[in-house]
């Protein structure tokens, strides 16, 4: 097939990830309201690894890291605010909550990559003070995660909401530490498909162990705890040809929140006709 020879550009991968993500979110938003095929969720497992892979690539190719990181941070705040409004005034008819905010996860991936490299460089150049400051920057969101988790029952609700909106916390963002580690691993494997493929396979095996509880039933593996099927993203990642392709940055930033709230509206519409 021609596309296998040419490979997939960054644009191609992002577009595929958007399609896979939409299947996943159709299941999330409409399950319990209309019959949704179980494989919608399985297809959805492919999307996040591709997006995370492209964020790691973005840290190599962006001309301005701080601008890139700032854009992700602002998007994460905007998404968190919209989620709060939706969950407060338009709760999902199927009883769920909109907690999707991969922007926050992506921001933390770029944050740890950036300050991790700065820390290593500072210590190599024997700039102890600068190295310690960068290390403190890395540790701050991690420590903040534990503080918030331990204080959840005592903090006023309005304070907790402000903190969760304004500060992406590694233990509480979508995908948590696992997805952040995945992004860092992809970054370290840049331009080496063998290392990337091996790393990602091991990562999926660890995910399989952590999420399935090693309960090897069809129901558990394909209907309940099927996050391990993110391994299906590997062929697409291996086809990446290193080229950017068409630009679609603005489209993704708009499509990601927009399609969720459109699906929420569809859920209300269908539920109203029942």
Q: First and final CA of the chain: distance in angstroms?
A: 46
pLDDT of residue 200: 98
The DSSP string of 73-95 is HHHHHHHHHHHHHHHHHS--TTS
The closest of 62, 4, 33, 21 to 230, measured between CA atoms, is: 21
3-class DSSP state of 203? helix
Contact 76, 57 (CB under 8 A): no
Read off the tokens for 193. 């498909």
pLDDT of residue 157: 84
pLDDT of residue 272: 76
pLDDT of residue 125: 95
Contact 107, 73 (CB under 8 A): yes
pLDDT of residue 259: 96
Render each residue's pLDDT in the chain as its tens digit; 274 residues: 555 668 899 999 999 999 999 999 999 999 999 999 999 999 999 999 999 999 999 999 898 999 999 999 999 999 999 999 999 999 999 888 999 999 999 999 999 999 999 999 999 999 999 999 999 999 999 999 999 999 888 888 888 888 888 999 999 999 999 999 999 999 999 989 999 999 999 999 999 999 998 888 999 999 999 999 999 999 999 999 989 887 777 888 999 999 999 999 999 999 877 6
CA dist list (Å): 262 to 22, 67, 91, 251, 258: 11, 29, 13, 15, 6
pLDDT of residue 6: 84
CA distance 202 to 192: 16
pLDDT of residue 274: 60
Whether the model clears a pTM of 0.75, i.e. scores above it, the answer is: yes
């Amino acid at each position: 097939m021609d596309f296998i020879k040419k490979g997939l550009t960054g644009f191609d991968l992002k577009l595929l990830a958007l399609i896979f993500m939409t299947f996943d979110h159709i299941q999330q938003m409409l399950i319990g309201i209309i019959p949704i095929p179980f494989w919608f969720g399985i297809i959805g497992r492919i999307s996040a690894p591709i997006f995370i892979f492209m964020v790691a690539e973005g840290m190599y190719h962006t001309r301005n890291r701080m601008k890139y990181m700032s854009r992700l941070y602002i998007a994460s705040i905007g998404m968190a605010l919209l989620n709060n409004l939706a969950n407060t005034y338009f709760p999902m008819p199927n009883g769920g909550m909109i907690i999707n905010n991969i922007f926050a996860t992506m921001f933390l991936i770029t944050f740890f990559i950036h300050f991790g490299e700065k820390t290593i460089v500072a210590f190599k150049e024997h700039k102890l003070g600068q190295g310690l400051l960068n290390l403190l920057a890395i540790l701050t969101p991690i420590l903040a995660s534990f503080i918030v988790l331990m204080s959840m029952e005592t903090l006023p609700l309005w304070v907790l909401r402000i903190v969760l909106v304004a500060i992406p916390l590694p233990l509480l963002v979508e995908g948590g530490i696992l997805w952040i580690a995945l992004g860092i691993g992809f970054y370290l494997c840049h331009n080496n498909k063998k290392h990337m493929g091996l790393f990602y396979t091991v990562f999926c095996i660890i995910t399989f162990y952590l999420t399935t509880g090693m309960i090897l039933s069809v129901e558990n593996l394909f209907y309940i705890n099927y996050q391990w099927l993110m391994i299906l993203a590997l062929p697409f990642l291996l086809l990446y040809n290193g080229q950017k392709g068409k630009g679609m940055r603005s489209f993704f930033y708009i499509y990601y929140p927009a399609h969720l709230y459109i699906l929420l509206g569809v859920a209300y519409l269908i539920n109203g006709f029942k």
